[in-house]
Amino acid sequence: MKSRKEGSRIFIRLETGDDVLKSLAEVAARYGVSGGWFNGIGSASDVELGYYDLERRDYDRVRIERDVEIASASGSLGLVEGKPFVHLHAVVSDRQCVPRAGHLFRAVAAATVEFVLLLAEAPIERTRDEATGLNLWRV
């Protein structure tokens, strides 16, 4: 994983085999930041997407077996129990350019993954919300 910080922006490239969510959290830890916004693209294997069922308070999960393009990945950087936490949603697409989309549980960088991280000046906590059963981004 490669990164370059310029003021309040970090430009990032993940390398083949990098776990996307873990690597982005590692970038945040490396620079000591825990609030911000991500946008990225690339290609990935081992993708798992999710849909949050608000009534059941749990996710339906969809595993994508084949390698995909990451057509879009966006989301927030927050702080959960003192550690950087990455919350991404993604659109991924197959060989026929047919997409699937949702909450991103897991992706491993294939050929390449490129991201920008726009930093907040202070940490943004994510804490439990009883009404939804989720950790919410406390901006």
- HSE at residue 31, side-chain half, CA atoms within 13 A, is 28
By CB under 8 A, residue 22 contacts a copy of itself:
no
CA distance 102 to 75: 11
Please tell me whether residue 28 adopts helix, strand or coil conformation. Answer: helix
By CB under 8 A, residue 111 contacts a copy of itself:
yes
By CB under 8 A, residue 29 contacts a copy of itself:
no
Contacts of 65 (CB under 8 A, 6+ apart): none
- Considering only 28, 33, 70, 107, the residue that binds a copy of itself (CB under 8 A) is 70
- Considering only 18, 76, 108, 123, the residue that binds a copy of itself (CB under 8 A) is 76
Nearest residue to 46 (alpha-carbon basis) of 78, 16, 7, 12? 16
By CB under 8 A, residue 58 contacts a copy of itself:
no
53: how many CB neighbours lie within 10 A of its CB? 11
Write down the least CB distance from residue 83 to a copy of itself, Å: 18
Q: Which of residues 80-99 bind a copy of itself (CB under 8 A)?
A: 87-99
17's tokens: 């085999």
Residues 15-26 as b/e (b if ≥16 CB within 10 A, e otherwise) read eeebbbbebbbb
By CB under 8 A, residue 44 contacts a copy of itself:
no
Q: Which residues bind a copy of itself (CB under 8 A)?
A: 2-4, 6-9, 11-13, 16, 35, 37, 39-43, 49-54, 60, 62, 67, 69-72, 74-76, 87-103, 110-112, 114, 116, 118, 120-122, 124, 129, 131-132, 134, 136-139
